[in-house]
Amino acid sequence: MKKISFKIITTLWITILIAVVCGVSVTVLMIISQKTADDKLRQTLVAAAQSNSDEMEFSNGIFEVENDFVYYSDGVYCDLFSEDGEYLTGETPHTLIEAPSDLEKVVKKSFEGKEYYVYSELLEFTKFEYEIDVSSGQVISYESDVTPVNELKPVPYSETKFKNGISTAEAIKAALSHAGIKETEATIIGVQIPVYTDRQVFKIEFTAESPSCKKVYIRAVCPAEDVKTMFTNIGRSAIYLLPFFVIIAAVGAYIISKRTVAPIEKITNSAHAISTGSDLSKRLETNKAPREISNLADTFNGMFERLYTSFENEKRFTSDASHELRTPLAVIKAECEYALSDNADDEERTQALESIEEQADKMTALVASLLSVTRAEQGLSRFTLEKANLSELVEGICDKFKTSKGIELTADIEKNISINLNNVLITQLIENLLSNADKYGRENGIIDVKLYSANDKVILSVRDNGIGISEEDLPKIWNRFYRADVSRSETEGFGLGLALVKKIAKIHSAECVAESEIDKFTEIKIIFKN
């Protein structure tokens, strides 16, 4: 079964996510819109009722509705009812006439199968205006209005007394008495003496709850169908637009996922080309890739580098082994052919077997050396480094090492130098350095070994006064199968000793330095970080 593309999976997940988000958003939007509309509707109904409350009054005991009273505006009907629930006036359809209830709340009610939002409020006439004749003290006119008490502020007035009339206090008393209100129950808002052409009066304004003025209910009504239509339109629009949002989201998600996956596909193609091609040295490009993709490419490149190194080491090992084994194998074959011929006697056959044994030992030593170098090239992961006393290790190896050709070995070792090392590898490194110095050393010469610390570094030096190395050949001594000039050396080696030293030093993060002059000296330094 073919696996689903990452682009398709990403597109589906993003599309589903956006569809869910859109659905939730539309639902939340509808809820918020419903609440907002309810609040707006309530404000509209309350405003309609309160704006009309100023357009009615009791004038001289008669209830009057002024011409500015708005019975219908912007879909809102306003009606008036008496304190007993009797319908007084309004333009609401007859089917909506019902005594107010649920005061100061917006409620939904049904009238003959239709729903309406209703707001009702009880109006109390608490502000009074009286005109009292200055001369006789009689009430000339009076009226009461619906006015919130907290909107009225008392205005200071002065006490006035007319010579042939009444005083301010007497006028206030007459007004309160006519209204049937005690002085302790009223709040005087102001007293004025306006100028009239025919008579002079006291104009007195006060607030109080009067038993003589009946309360009135005002009711504002709005058809629920208008609000429902608005929400139906919003919901229908949301339902129509949602598929388009989902389609746009799917297309956008596919484009995004395609662009996201493009670097990965490029890496895949490049990796396939490297794995199937003949050039394993190629690497993946990471310059323009995002950080995560670049990290992935770097990981692949690191893997390719290790594989390439392993392949190269294997090729080099095969090439080197076949090259070095060719000569001893040729000798062995020749000796075998001669020993098996009719011309060879017993003594010659014995000499042939001895020659074969010698070549076999040489091949065994060669293969062992090659394996040591190859293992060292496989890196640090195969070896464990532990803190150890390098001074004691070097001193012990020097004491046991046997020189040849009358060479004297001297050691100048600083005490108690400890570094992180692998005991087996460092032992092989030191032995190879000593063996190399002994092999190419001068007859009755000297090998000088030093171990010391300087500038946060540990330096191991092995110096001989042997045949030396030319300046142009000095960089080559670390290569496999490099040999000094055989014509100037009595001993022939494989040329793997210093190559192995280089590999072991690398495992210990150490540096190899070589100095030499022809027929004077050769000094190899291994510099460890302390």
Low-confidence winner among 42-51, 221-230, 408-417 (lowest mean pLDDT): 221-230
pLDDT one-digit tens code per residue, 152-167:
778 888 888 888 889 9
Structure tokens at 227: 């609000």
Closest CA to 221 of 338, 89, 417, 73: 73
Per-residue pLDDT at 1:
47
pLDDT one-digit tens code per residue, 165-180:
899 999 999 988 888 8
pLDDT one-digit tens code per residue, 88-99:
888 776 656 677
489 confidence band (pLDDT: 50, 70, 90) = very low
Per-residue pLDDT at 380:
46
The amino acid occupying position 518 is I
pLDDT one-digit tens code per residue, 315-336:
766 666 666 667 678 778 888 8
Q: How far apart, in Å, do the first and last CA atoms of the chain sit? A: 58
Q: Is 415 left (phi over 0), alpha (psi -120 to 50) or beta?
A: beta
493 confidence band (pLDDT: 50, 70, 90) = low
Give dist(CA 313, CA 319) in Å, integer. 10
Give dist(CA 285, CA 248) in Å, integer. 33
Residue 425 sits at the vertex; the CA angle it makes with 445 and 309, to the nearest 5 degrees, is: 115
486 confidence band (pLDDT: 50, 70, 90) = very low
* Cα torsion angle, 337, 339, 340, 343, sign: positive
pLDDT one-digit tens code per residue, 189-238:
889 888 765 778 899 998 887 666 778 888 888 887 766 665 566 666 66
| Distance from chain centroid for Cα 278 | 42
User: How many percent of the chain have pLDDT more than 90?
Assistant: 13
The CATH superfamily holding the domain 383-529 is Histidine kinase-like ATPase, C-terminal domain (3.30.565.10)
3-class SS letters over 381-444: HHCCCEEEEHHHHHHHHHHHCCCCCCCEEEEEECCCCEEEECHHHHHHHHHHHHHHHHHCCCCC
Number of Cα atoms under 13 Å in the Cβ half of residue 246: 15
Per-residue pLDDT at 389:
94
DSSP 460-520: EEEEE-SS---TTTGGGGGSTT----GGG-S----S-HHHHHHHHHHHTT-EEEEEEETTT
DSSP 155-213: ------B-TTS-BHHHHHHHHHHHHT--GGG-EEEEEE----SS--EEEEEEE---SSS
Instruction: Quickly tell me which residue has 């007035």 as its tokens.
Output: 157
Per-residue pLDDT at 369:
61
C-beta separation of 472 from 449 below 8 A:
no
The mean of the pLDDT values for the chain is 80
Closest CA to 20 of 251, 256, 254, 249: 249
Residue extents of the structural domains in the chain: 127-212, 291-374, 383-529
Residue 28 sits at the vertex; the CA angle it makes with 25 and 31, to the nearest 5 degrees, is: 150
pLDDT one-digit tens code per residue, 101-155:
778 888 888 777 788 888 888 888 888 899 999 888 899 888 888 876 566 778 8
Helix (H, G, I), strand (E, B) or coil at 111: strand
Give dist(CA 497, CA 323) in Å, integer. 17
Give dist(CA 443, CA 519) in Å, integer. 12
pLDDT one-digit tens code per residue, 426-473:
888 898 899 889 988 888 999 999 999 998 999 999 999 988 888 888
What CATH code is assigned to 291-374?
A: 1.10.287
Strongest mean pLDDT among 47-51, 265-269, 287-291, 371-375: 47-51
- For residues 508-528, average pLDDT: 92
Helix (H, G, I), strand (E, B) or coil at 334: helix
